[in-house]
Amino acid sequence: MKAIVAAIAVAFVFGSCARQDWIDRTLVTVDVTGTWQGRTAAPGAGLVVGDMYLDVAQQGSTVRGTMHLRGSSSVNKLEPIEGTVAGDVFRFKTPRGTLEAELTVSGDEMSGTAQTLGGRRTISFRRAEPAAPLAPK
C-alpha cells in the first residue's frame, strides 16, 4: 500500500512540474501588435548602427510582420520577420537568417539582444506611429 501511495505522490509531483513548464511556454502576457521604432548598437561600444522599425501583427503567441532598417545610404531594406511571444518575451528572426532577436516587453518598450551577421547587438524599441513605406527602386 505504501508503494502505491509513493508512486501516486511521485506521479503528482512530476505531473505538476510538466504542467507548469507547459503553462510557462504558452502563456502570453503582452501584445506586440503595432509599429515599433528602435535603435541597435554594438554592446559596450555605444556605436549606433541604425534606426529600426518593426510593423507586426500578433495572433495568440504567433507574430508576423516586417522589419525596416534605416541607416547609412547602404542600409535601407525591408525584411519579413516571424516570431513568438511567451510570457513577456518576444523572439523573432528573419527567414533568411540575417537576424535573430530576443526582447523583453514592458508596456510600450522592449529591449534585448540580437544576433546578426555582423555580431551580437543590443536593441531597444518604443511603440511609434507607422513608418513611412519604403519607396520602390
Rounded to whole angstroms, the Cα distance separating 99 from 81 reads: 9
Show the 3-state SS of 82-117. EEEEEECEEEEECCCCCEEEEEEEECCEEEEEEEEC
Rounded to whole angstroms, the Cα distance separating 83 from 62 reads: 6
Size of the chain, expressed as the number of residues it contains: 137
Residue 10 DSSP code: H
Spatial contact of 32 and 128, defined as CB atoms under 8 Å apart: no
Query: What is the pLDDT at residue 110?
Result: 97
Per-residue pLDDT of the chain in tens (137 residues, 90 and over written 9): 655 545 454 444 454 444 445 555 567 889 999 999 998 877 665 555 678 899 999 999 999 999 988 765 455 678 999 999 999 999 999 999 989 999 999 999 999 999 988 889 899 999 987 555 555 55
Q: Residue ranges per domain, the chain?
A: 34-128
Extract the C-alpha cell encoding 125.
Answer: 524599441
Query: What is the pLDDT at residue 13?
Result: 47
How distant, in Å, are the alpha carbons of 67, 103, 109 from that of 91?
A: 13, 6, 14
Fold exhibited by the domain 34-128:
Lipocalin (2.40.128)
Q: What is the pTM of this model?
A: 0.72
Rounded to whole angstroms, the Cα distance separating 73 from 38 reads: 18
Query: What is the pLDDT at residue 102?
Result: 98
